[in-house]
Chains A and B, each alone.
Chain A
Amino acid sequence: MRAAEAILTAFGIYGAIGLIFAAFFVAWGASRLDEAAHGMPLQVRLILIPGAAALWPYLAWRQIRGEGPPVQ
């Protein structure tokens, strides 16, 4: 029971931070990361929220390092 509660709490905290981060990311962060994201329509920003919330540690790390899109 305790382990299950701990897992769910950790999951909840991860998701809550992710949602807050995602709101900032789609509003400002995405265009810092990728020039093509400047002036994205609202629908695109909304579509990006789940992905930003799921991958927030990676995206936050990229934002802190000021990196652009990966070289392809």
Chain B
Amino acid sequence: MGHGYQAIKWYPFKRGYDGWIAAFVAVFIAVFLVGLYAFAPPGQFYSPVQALMRATGSCAFACLTIVLCIGPLARLHSVFLPILFNRRHLGVATFLIALTHAGLVLFWYHYGGVVSPALSLLTSNTAYDRLAGFPFETLGALALIWLFVMAATSHDFWNSNLGPGLWKALHMGVYGVYALIIGHVALGALQRETAPAFLAMVLSSLGLVSGLHLLTALVSRRAQQASADEIDWIDAGPALDIPENRARIIQPISGERIAVFRYAGKISAISNVCRHQGGPLGEGRVIDGCVTCPWHGFQYRPEDGQSPPPFTEKVATYRVRLDARRHVLIDPTPLPPGTATAPALIQEIPA
């Protein structure tokens, strides 16, 4: 946590995750190449470089789609939490695949001329004033630059030294990247490729990303409305409905979400926002007595919101109590980060 820096903190889960990424990329590219040659329309020929160019471009697009779907999926159901963890490696992989795609494009279409490949890319087509024949390569280049910025600042050092606000703002640019790539594909590949698989891939991606984000927003709004009838204390529902060592996330009318944890016969509430990268603590678990962020494993004691020594991170805590119906009541006013507050004891529920 706020203690020294390592290049990559490897452990078995992370190695497995990266193994799945590598396997996905290899299988995707292999299947794409086989499909491209097997189902190429009559008269359409692809050189190996052109085929690889399309395969890497499509693979980067697929990886970016997955990156964008992971967040909403994990909010909708905890079964997706394992893929949320270590998402940044998938982001870096996306950049590297997109870089390979760009390298192949520069090599095939722009290398060996009288001007440099980069200048050739910018000047070979300048029809920015019309959609038909629009220089879609520029959109791809802009997306690649931003993917680079995100990949280059994905290390913990940058999160600590840019601060969560600036870091998050930089990385929310992933939605701009997605829009640029949709434009790049729609004005480029989709204008040339007649195979319906290309259009199907783009439409599936758009439908999946927008549909999941809309669904998550709806579910979140419903949860917000459910807590809108709060007066002072928020009713967070029956204590025993919260799974052991897990949390229920509550959205107060104003302020950050609150994660209400049940553990060892007790109930405590802390801010849902991890101090590391703003990860959703309420989607994590209590491990070794500490709330553990599902993103990068930062830990906080549920009773006081402090990271165990020697770490120094702190999150806000909230007062909790149980009512006669065995419901958890939360005072929505956050206590200063690291403030100890008594957990509600489930055994002592009033009769």
A5 and B152 within 8 A (CB): no
At the interface, is chain A mostly helix, strand, loop or mixed?
Answer: helix
Q: Which residues of B contact A64 (CB under 8 A)?
A: none
How many of chain A's residues touch chain B, expressed as a range?
Answer: 20 to 34
Knowing A36-B3, A47-B7, A54-B149, say if A69 contacts B161 (CB, 8 Å).
Answer: yes
Residues 106-122 (chain B) with a chain A CB within 8 angstroms = 116, 118-119, 122
Residues of chain A in range 3-62 having any CB-CB distance to chain B below 8 Å: 4-5, 7-8, 30, 33-34, 36-37, 39-41, 43-44, 46-48, 50-51, 53-55, 58, 62
Chain B residues, Cβ within 8 Å of A44: 5-7, 155, 157
Asked if residues A47 and B155 are in contact (CB atoms below 8 Å), the reply is yes
Q: Are B7 and A54 in contact (CB under 8 A)?
A: no
Interface pair B5/A37, CB less than 8 Å apart: yes
Known contacts A44-B7, A51-B153: A34-B161 contact under CB 8 Å: yes
Tell me the residues in window 93-130 of chain B with beta carbons closer than 8 Å to chain A beta carbons.
116, 118-119, 122-123
A36 with B4, Cβ < 8 A, contacts A8-B119, A44-B157, A70-B163 known: yes
B interface, over-half SS: helix
B119 near A36 (CB under 8 angstroms)? Answer: no
Bound-state CA distance A12–B213 (Å) is 38
The answer to whether B123 touches A4, judged by C-beta atoms less than 8 angstroms apart, is yes
Chain B nearest Cβ from A49, distance in angstroms: 8
Output the least CB separation between B167 and chain A (Å): 9
Do A34 and B157 contact each other (CB < 8 Å), given the known contacts A47-B7, A69-B163? Answer: yes
Evaluate contact between A5 and B119: CB separation under 8 angstroms.
yes
- Cβ contacts under 8 Å, B72 to chain A: none
Q: Report chain A residues within 8 Å CB of B158.
A: 48, 51
B2 at interface, CB cutoff 8 A: yes
Nearest chain-B residue to A42 (Cβ)? B7
Partner of B161, one of A4, A40, A43, A70: A70
Most buried by A among B152, B153, B160, B162: B152
B149 touches A8 (CB 8 A): no
Contact A72 B155 (CB under 8 A): no
Q: Check if B160 sits within 8 Å of A36, measured CB to CB.
A: yes
Please name all residues of chain B whose beta carbon is closer than 8 Å to the beta carbon of A55 when the two chains form the complex: 149, 153, 162
Bound: A62/B162 CA distance, A: 10
Instruction: Mark interface residues in B322-333 (1 if CB within 8 Å of A CB, else 0).
Output: 000000000000
**Shortest distance from the beta carbon of A2 to any chain B beta carbon, whole Å:** 10
Q: How far is the CA of A47 from the CA of B160 in the complex (A)?
A: 15
What residue in chain A is nearest B275 (Cβ atoms)? A72
Q: B313 — nearest CB in chain A belongs to which residue?
A: A72
Interface membership of B148, Cβ < 8 A: yes
Q: For chain B residues 1-16, which have a beta carbon within 8 Å of chain A?
A: 2-7
Chain A residues near B116: list those with CB within 8 A: 8
B177 to chain A, nearest CB (A): 15
Q: Does B173 touch A at the CB level, under 8 Å?
A: no
CB of B297 closer than 8 Å to a CB of A: no
B14 to chain A, nearest CB (A): 15
Closest 10 CB pairs of A and B: A70-B163, A50-B152, A43-B7, A4-B122, A51-B152, A51-B153, A4-B123, A44-B5, A44-B7, A69-B161
